[in-house]
Chains A and B, each alone.
Chain A
Amino acid sequence: RKEVEQDPGPFNVPEGATVAFNCTYSNSASQSFFWYRQDCRKEPKLLMSVYSSGNEDGRFTAQLNRASQYISLLIRDSKLSDSATYLCVVNYAGSARQLTFGSGTQLTVLP
């Protein structure tokens, strides 16, 4: 079983749609959670951190459910520029600053 699991997609949605990605993690000692974005053939970049109370950044909303070991990302009013692969990332307590990456969910926003 992978430590961080994501639906690989691809998700193909029309512009303006709302799309949600889910992620589960296996290690209950997980401490910090993030969503990174990776464009095709580019490096990963931090999209947003995920806080226990849930957090929003413009059109993006992240939720964390520690009891179910589940993280989600909601994108509202999708733009063409949102097309990318979204990586769920976890930092485990005691692992210093090491990150464990999910394999990513591919999103294509269609005109």
Chain B
Amino acid sequence: NAGVTQTPKFQVLKTGQSMTLQCAQDMNHNSMYWYRQDPGMGLRLIYYSASEGTTDKGEVPNGYNVSRLNKREFSLRLESAAPSQTSVYFCASSVDQPQHFGDGTRLSIL
């Protein structure tokens, strides 16, 4: 049982490059989430999707876009990466509570 799978696990980008972080869950959960975690800041919600076909902004959506491709998959796109987006990114899914997290993507923007 894979749970929540994120790819890639590590990535280094140059400023201005774009990339998509992938997330897939096999628990048939309706809701999916993208967070970023920075030192001393805790996890902050970027975007979430309450159900297939819907997405909403979280606390820190600027510079990101998302796509809920189907019930299983929820991707996060950085169109023009900036050093301030260096962070650890977590995807999560849930029916209600608790949320189940993937093991994260460590992203560095140079």
Residues of A that sit less than 8 Å from B by CB: 4, 8, 32, 34, 36, 42-46, 49, 87, 91, 96-104
Alpha-carbon gap, A101 to B60, bound state (A): 14
Residues of B that sit less than 8 Å from A by CB: 31, 33, 35, 40-45, 48, 50, 58, 90, 94, 96-99, 101-104
15 additional contacts, CB 8 Å, given A42-B104, A101-B42, A103-B40?
A4-B42, A34-B97, A34-B98, A36-B98, A43-B104, A49-B97, A49-B98, A96-B48, A97-B48, A97-B94, A98-B33, A98-B48, A101-B43, A101-B44, A103-B42
B102 pairs with A43, CB closer than 8 A? yes
Alpha-carbon gap, A44 to B99, bound state (A): 9
B42 pairs with A99, CB closer than 8 A? no
* Shortest Cβ distance from residue A6 to the other chain B in the assembled complex, whole angstroms: 8
Identify which of B35, B98, B102, B104 gathers the most chain A CB atoms within 10 Å of its CB.
Answer: B98
B103 pairs with A42, CB closer than 8 A? yes
| Chain A residues within an 8 Å CB radius of B98 | 34, 36, 46, 49
